[in-house]
């Protein structure tokens, strides 16, 4: 999804700019005038940021035992990983 976000935003801008240009009597932008290098660079930066966030928000080390969430005396005890 992150790779398609810059293109989706550009297409939204393109539709709005085309309507505004036609309403004002100006020449509408052409879809072939897409700034592909900028869209690719932005998509790569978003992908790198998402990958970096994923890698830094890691979980517990392998080898633990998962205790699922349970109820004790009417209180919910969240799940956890024990060693």
Residues 6-28, mean pLDDT to the nearest whole number = 86
How confident is the model over 32-44, as pLDDT tens digits?
777 778 878 888 8
Q: What is the pTM of this model?
A: 0.47
Alpha helices in 5-65 (DSSP H): 5-24, 36-56
Residue 62 and residue 69 in contact, taking contact as beta carbons nearer than 8 Å: no
82 Cβ contact list (under 8 Å, min separation 6): 64, 65, 67
Cβ count within 10 A of residue 76: 9
Cβ count within 10 A of residue 6: 19
Map residue 56 onto helix, strand or coil: helix
How confident is the model over 20-71, as pLDDT tens digits?
988 998 888 777 777 778 878 888 898 899 899 988 887 667 788 889 999 9
């Amino acid at each position: 999804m992150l790779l398609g976000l810059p293109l989706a935003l550009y297409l939204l801008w393109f539709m709005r700019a085309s309507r505004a240009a036609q309403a004002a009597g100006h020449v509408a932008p052409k879809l072939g005038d897409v700034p592909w290098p900028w869209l690719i660079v932005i998509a790569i930066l978003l992908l790198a940021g998402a990958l970096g966030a994923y890698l830094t928000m890691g979980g517990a080390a392998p080898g633990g035992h998962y205790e699922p969430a349970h109820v004790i005396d009417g209180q919910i005890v969240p799940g956890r990983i024990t060693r």
